[in-house]
Amino acid sequence: MVTISDVAKRSGLSKSTVSRVINNHPYISKEKRELVQKAMDELGYYPNPAARRLRGHLKSTIGVIVPRIINPFFSYLVNSIEQTAYQNNFQVLIFQSNENKEKELSFLNLLKTRQIDGVIMTSIENDAEIIHSYTQYGPILFCNEYLNNTDVPSIRVDQSQGAYIGIKHLIEKGHTKIAYCTGGLFAEDGKDKDRNQGYQKALNEAGISLNPNWIFIDQHSIEDGKSVLKQILTMDNCPTAIFTGSDEVAAGVMIEANDQGVPIPNGIAVIGFDDQPLAEMLHPKLTTIKQPISLLGEKAVEGLALMMQKNNTMPENIKLPVELITRKST
Amino acid sequence: MVTISDVAKRSGLSKSTVSRVINNHPYISKEKRELVQKAMDELGYYPNPAARRLRGHLKSTIGVIVPRIINPFFSYLVNSIEQTAYQNNFQVLIFQSNENKEKELSFLNLLKTRQIDGVIMTSIENDAEIIHSYTQYGPILFCNEYLNNTDVPSIRVDQSQGAYIGIKHLIEKGHTKIAYCTGGLFAEDGKDKDRNQGYQKALNEAGISLNPNWIFIDQHSIEDGKSVLKQILTMDNCPTAIFTGSDEVAAGVMIEANDQGVPIPNGIAVIGFDDQPLAEMLHPKLTTIKQPISLLGEKAVEGLALMMQKNNTMPENIKLPVELITRKST
DNA sequence: TTGTATGCGTTATCAT
DNA sequence: ATGATAACGCATACAA
């Protein structure tokens, strides 16, 4: 391995001078600078990041926690984060929490040991106090999530608005009996709560009262969606539209509807959330709420980079706008 | 930050002794060992990985190069790699080459600077000699790819067998006019070539001659699949079945067939490759070749771990078996 | 503008 | 079985 000493010898200068060239210090003569450059090129020198990190001044690795990378929403998010990180000369350490508290903590601990210099959390398993206690070891930024009563900054999508425009769209299509699926438990904090508020707001504005029988909590997968439609078909008073909260659940609903011979949108209207590629593959094509995933990833990396530069600077909390994509399922 | 010196002071022993305890050296009295343990616990001590790395003995980070993480095949593969790495106390640095030579090289360079201790390459952009030259800086393992005339080890799926059983299945269904899509260029090396061989073997065994008009190269996306079906429909002598080489391309073919009113499998039979979740969402459900993705990831991490332990030990090249999943599209 | 000396936290070598 | 010390590669305070 070629070190700074080798470069020093080769150029006939001292280690300090070489170091100054590497770090773009002022007050170096052009002459020596070129000498050093030449020696570095000839030797194929690269600074040793471990040494720099030990010395205390390297910040190059950001950690990303996702619940599961196979969820397309998160693989698109990671895609954007990785691209942006690359442009900013950061490395990305990836980590799946699998919705597991301890696994999440074990990753956060990399902050303690300085294996990562900052963390983007796209999901939250542990309690606010615990997460917050880790901010003493390095910057943490929430992406697509947030925690109340915490000064941990967050970059996210306006979920409330997303649910609002989705439900409103269904109402404008003449629906008043609207089922609602959420990934959360309807009571807790975070992004699911925001959606619930948008849902209720749209209902209120139209003077429609909420029917608790039509609320399905903790729905995530295609299988969940199938099950939702099955349950609905057994009801006496049956909703005519479903807000699914995710394209996967919507897909499940539609697949089951197909199997049961229920026409879409006339038998039942379906609206998704995300606008994944799959939305265009369903029959009929899925109306859905599009989230600006790429932008989400960019803003997250930029925000974290800011926090890593000057540890005190918190970026603004950002809420990105969503968009209704009208297709054939409503 | 609490260091080994702090622990030494607190326990009334020397740094050396503390270090020995940390590294499970023999020849330490139970008594002192417990003293050190106690001090470490009380202080909340963690060894500094940067220092260990600098000193030369930390190997904890593996790099993974994927072409694009949003491709479900690779997000499933990364999922498996991450899980296995976690179990083995490795961190995973993720990197997308975007099929770009220079980006790939920029990541391989992390091996030079010891930011990663080994690399799993799930795609190959640069020439064999270039890739090979990087093996002097650290272990490299191919996963789902390989290079001829190289001693870089490889964990992969038996692609030849995959194409073979797929084509054979179509032949058994009575088809003799079988179109063939490949992600590669039909001539080059690597996994696509293996598939081509399986394709030709199945044809040969059935005494069917290959029709060059029915070979579609460089096909990857849903859009590509749509285009393939359109082209086929314009042909005078029209194939009755398509081997697509990927579930995405198959999906494109089927979506277009639906739009054009071509029945599946009677108008045209379609077979995919991968067995992604999407295969079960299509109408009719897609017959496809299932790849053991999880196993692929596990074996890759285990193989690389072996190489990282003793730099000389090359794991065996492994070819994992594939499986035909028969559904309704054939 | 450049060089010398020191320390970051750890482990290996050499004593004891 | 334990301790003192040097060294890993780099960047900085201080000197010159």
pLDDT tens across the length of chain B (330 residues): 899 999 999 999 999 999 999 999 888 888 889 999 999 999 999 999 999 999 977 889 999 999 999 999 999 999 999 999 999 999 999 999 999 999 999 999 999 888 999 999 999 999 999 999 999 999 999 999 988 878 899 999 999 999 999 999 999 999 999 999 998 766 566 778 899 999 999 999 999 999 999 999 999 989 999 999 999 999 999 999 999 999 999 999 999 999 899 999 999 999 999 999 889 888 899 999 999 999 999 999 999 999 998 765 777 889 999 999 999 999
Strand D close to B112 by CB, under 7 A: no
Read off the pLDDT of residues B91-111 as tens digits, 9 standing for 90 and up.
Answer: 999 999 999 999 999 999 999
Residues in chain B closer than 8 A to A112 (CB atoms): 46
* DSSP structure class, residue B148: T
Q: Which of residues 270-329 of B touch A (CB under 8 A)?
A: 277-278, 281-283
Contacts of B9 (CB under 8 A, 6+ apart): none
Structural domains in chain B plus CATH codes: 4-47 (1.10.260.40), 60-156+293-320 (3.40.50.2300), 159-292 (3.40.50.2300)
Mean pLDDT in order along chain A per 10 residues (330 residues): 92 93 90 91 93 89 96 96 96 96 95 93 94 93 89 94 98 97 74 90 96 94 95 96 96 93 96 92 93 97 90 80 97
User: C-alpha distances in angstroms, B214 versus A318, B75, B103, B233?
Assistant: 52, 31, 35, 12
Contact B63, B107 (CB under 8 A): yes
For residue A112, the distance in angstroms to the closest alpha carbon of chain B comes to 8
CA-based nearest residue in chain B for residue A68? B79
Nearest residue, CA→C1' of D3: B14
Q: Which single residue is written with the structure tokens 């490949």?
A: B182
Q: With an 8 Å Cβ cutoff, is B88 touching chain A?
A: no
Name B residues 79-138 whose Cβ lies under 7 Å from strand C.
Answer: none
For residue A277, the distance in angstroms to the closest alpha carbon of chain B comes to 10
Tokens of A253: 């609903």
> pLDDT above 70 covers what percent of chain B?
98
Q: Which single residue is written with the structure tokens 């622990």?
A: B7
* Spacing of B285 CA from C6 C1' in Å: 70
Strand C close to A54 by CB, under 7 A: yes
Q: With an 8 Å Cβ cutoff, is B187 touching chain A?
A: no
The rounded distance, in Å, linking the Cα atoms of B271 and B324 is 10
Q: With an 8 Å Cβ cutoff, is A110 touching chain B?
A: yes
- B30-43 helix and B15-22 helix, angle to the nearest 10 degrees: 90
* DSSP structure class, residue A134: G
Contact B49 A95 (CB under 8 A): no
User: Residue A92: which of B51, B93, B103 has the nearest Cβ?
Assistant: B93
| Burial (CB count within 10 angstroms: exposed 0-12, middle 13-18, buried 19+), residue A154 | buried
Contact B94 A96 (CB under 8 A): no
Read off the pLDDT of residues A88-136 as tens digits, 9 standing for 90 and up.
Answer: 999 999 999 999 999 999 999 999 888 999 999 999 999 999 999 999 9
Strand D close to A60 by CB, under 7 A: no
Nearest residue, CA→C1' of C7: A55
Strand D close to A15 by CB, under 7 A: yes
Strand C close to A29 by CB, under 7 A: yes
